[in-house]
Structure 1
Amino acid sequence: MSEIVANQAERKNINVFFGLINLAVAFVVVSGLWFVFLHPNGVMALYTPMYGFSLLVAFVASIVLISKVTDFYPFAGPSLGTVSWGLVRTIAAVVIMLFLVYGFFWGFIGRFGITYFSPYSIIAAGGVGAEIFNARENASTAIVYLLTAFLWVALTWSAGFGQWPWVGVQRGPAALARIGIVGLLSTIAYVVLFHPHVCYLFFPAQTMAGVEPWWSKWAMTSSAYYNLGLLLSILMWVIVSDVLWEGYPWRIVDRKGQGNLWRGLFTLIGTFVLGILSFMALLAAMNIFWLEPFEGGQYTDAPYFRYLHAGEISTFVALAAFIVKTYFGNLVNGPNIWVRAALRTVAAAIGGTLFYLFYYSSLSTFLLGKVPGIAQPEDTPLVWTLLFLSVVLIQADFFAGWPLIRKEK
């Protein structure tokens, strides 16, 4: 009952009209950032698309690292106000993003460990396609894959395992421990789900470094977009259950609300099942519109595009879920968790549909300078979605919802 009262109190602090204004402002901010950093005719034109994609995944991963993995350690305390802490955390996320891409991947791992994580190491190694644009796109693809695995593991751990098994441990050691376990599990997930594909991006294929993509026989493609789309579909349910369903049904096995082994396994298996079901449903819907894909097909007939597109649609819904929570106080806050969870999910699905229609409209083509049409190899809506998501997450997590939510002192 106390959780219901808390949700209703937060709901009263968010006026739907001001939520719409905030959403409009956020859209303007995202459009401005897109023009400066990503627009093909903008200032920096980083949307190539994989290079800009890797930077944005790294930025979202940095936000999640600070807010979910380390629980804001050491970026929290009474010494600074909400806005001041928000600015400090945002700057920290930018610094971590730059370090991850240019320091950790390009400068360290790609130089001393795995060649394909650095475009300069790829060029130095020589071979077919060893020039800066292709090399940077290939390195960026590997970074996108690894950090997507990190986001999946980090958010699943936060929603399920929570503080377990470090309940009662000081924040610093607990944060370092979570970084270690999330990093280890992310690496394992990447090696199995994505590494084989990256090894086959080069000619000749790096057969001694990675096995032949094990999913190619039934997926009709060697592309790891198969795993990327599935992982994003699963991640959507992790987000929806955490922000819209208030942790249910996973928290049924967690009386203290701190996370435990059983809740973590329940969350992992439950979201995996839901992700597979929605992934298959989206693929079936595409078959209705575009007929069956076939190996070697191009554009909408390509199997790899269908898998990626399922993940793109799921990410639109995930973005809408965060907006429903952050800007509209989750809309429905009645006494029955199952009713309000269902209605919120419907709202997120509608929001995701609206984002989909916008992105593939002529207005989006004009504003974003993107390639018109669906299934263009030079375009993926994940980049725009992640940019929008980063703005929402910064306001929600780093600024504690300010100025929509003002904490009473």
Structure 2
Amino acid sequence: MNVLIIGSGGREHSLVQKLTRHQHNVFVAPGNDGMEEATLVDIPETDFDALASYAIEKNIDWTIVGPENPLSEGVVDVFKKQGLNVFGPDKSAALIEGSKRFAKKLMKAYDIPTADYEAFTDIEKAHAYIEEKGAPIVVKADGLAAGKGVVVASTTQEAKEAVSSMLEGDKFGSAGHEVVIEEFLDGKEFSLMAFVEGEKVYPMLPARDHKRAYDGDEGPNTGGMGAFAPVADLSDQKVDVAVNDILIPVAKAMQQEGRPFQGILYAGLIETETGVKVIEFNARFGDPETQVVLPLLKNDLIQVIEDVTNDVDPRLAWRDECSVGVVLASAGYPGAYEKGNLLPDHGHGSGCFTYAGVRQQGEAFVGNGGRVLMAGAVGSDHEEARKVVYQELESFADNDDFYYRTDIAKKV
């Protein structure tokens, strides 16, 4: 089939690789120069009318939306008005990611387990709440902040500074004009994505993401520095609880709220002493989880999407193997970083690279974003996959322009 992917990052490259493996003809808008398997389309991911016109012109059978911003701004609505097949939630349903306050209110109303919270636009009231609750405590920008709008504060002063930087300092623009302050949850985190159509939920394999920038889970939160799947220390019973007590109820809740969900529902979850709870919901494939989960999926992704949207059980089948991926980032990320630094020769082993922030310069690539690429591998166990990944990254080991964590999946 002809498939259009909207987006330009590592998640989208992983989708490209999965689709071309099943012999689909793939276009990606705008893509990046590392996506050599696909036809790049020079249309911004926010130019919805041009994207829809292109889909009509090229007889695109399915469009898959990767990033959160186009979903929250209504790209699916535009495509559906044109009678085009598009996989992703419409603007009303994408609010589950676009507003953390909305997601928290939904969970509270429908008894879906999550951390206690309050939302604020007033700095003094937010600071008073922090004093009342104490630390550790979590501060989140209400809107979309590219995975970086979360501060896990170990002191009340750190939490207050985070609030001030969002509400007063405009750190995340309009995304931070309201903040959600949450109870800190202690436990092991995991990510669970699912194909959803209305109240029907088809879960994928769970994965574990590493959000902190540096080894030992130190440093600021990022969009993700690496991931692995499946999660060895997570019991099948806990996954069943997550599906039956969280994913299915939230799909039903969205239906009841008049915001029926179609697409990928991502749940960021945590195992606590009192059970599995929700940290956040996303309305699309996770990044970097997609890059480690899709290589383990045996099914043709387009067949899965067609089955799900036609109310047919896709009967998801998984390889009995393990997947590990490690992100290479520009020095300075998630803060200020330089673009245009040359990537050394790489990628001659048995691993796989998904490209995110790269641009071609002559015969080589240069960095063009915060997260540059991910080295990934599948093995009989996590250690075998991990060994291949780190061999692939050896050419970057002493390069001051880029960095990566050396402990992804180490504790498995």
Q: Select the structure that is richer in helix.
A: 1
Which structure would you say has the larger RCO, counting Cα contacts within 8 Å and 6 or more residues apart? 1
Query: What TM-score do the two structures reach when normalised by structure 1?
Result: 0.29
